[in-house]
A and B are shown apart, each in its own frame.
Chain A
């Protein structure tokens, strides 16, 4: 049952999740398109979920997987609300370039 972690090792999963998370951070910093920024946030959430599942298998405990279930629900709600905000931003400004969103600047 636990043969996968004895063959692959928890280290490999940690490094994979860390690099995936860093790619997400890079996307948030690098792109100006707000939709791509949202996709990068999804990549970061997925990196954390992957690590949750890996450690759940490592400790042979189901609670990590329950947490992943909750974080998936929160991510779904976040994406729905965020994309609705983006649609209304696009209606008002005509673009979703994050550099244009500075009307609240004092």
Chain B
């Protein structure tokens, strides 16, 4: 077993265990903390795949911005107590059955499928540094410049919508 493989299995174990604990733990604050660990381990996977830009962006966006939003919402609603009622037992049992069968089906499908081409030899070409990614993303003719602009519009609309939704309604006179 090479070092990289051991590192991969270690990160994968952390990812799966914390993802499961996120769902399993009763306290929403604990769920949020476990989710942060899960996101950091996924950033570790990105680093292992040598895509530094996405690892940094993932840490900033997910572990930073999104988790702060979650934690603020949990604190705003004062949910840090463990008083959630369980779903009825039949629904929980159904959820477990769906989980097991979905896992079995998907793993079987991908276990029986073979990759189309074997791993091609590395050409040594730089394709995932920030420079190369920026060329693909912001190229006018063949790149993704127009979707990039639409993403900025989407974020603006989401910001306005969030402000409107969470504003307290004034009493009508």
Chain A interfacial positions (CB closer than 8 Å to B): 1-8, 10-12, 14-16, 18-27, 29-33, 35-36, 38-40, 42-43, 46, 49-50, 53-54, 56-58, 60-63, 65-66, 68-70, 72-81, 83-88, 90-91, 96-97, 99
Contact = CB atoms under 8 A, between A and B. Distances in A.
A81 B110 contact: no
B51 to A, nearest CB: 6
A80 to B, nearest CB: 5
Interface in B37-76: 38-39, 42, 45-46, 48-51, 53-54, 57-58, 61-62, 65-66, 69-70, 73-74, 76
Nearest to A26: B99
Contacts of A33: 28, 79, 84
Size bin of chain B's contact surface: 35 or more
B22 to A, nearest CB: 6
Contacts of B121: 2
10 contacts: A1-B124, A5-B119, A20-B16, A22-B106, A36-B28, A39-B22, A42-B66, A46-B62, A72-B62, A75-B62
A28 to B, nearest CB: 9
B84 A97 contact: yes
Given A32-B85, A42-B66, A73-B154, A16 B15 contact: yes
Interface of B: 2, 4-5, 8, 12, 15-16, 19-20, 22-23, 28, 31-32, 35, 38-39, 42, 45-46, 48-51, 53-54, 57-58, 61-62, 65-66, 69-70, 73-74, 76-77, 79, 84-87, 91-92, 94-96, 98-99, 102-103, 106-107, 110-111, 115, 119-125, 127-128, 132-133, 136-137, 144, 147-148, 151, 154-155, 157-159, 161-162, 165-166, 168
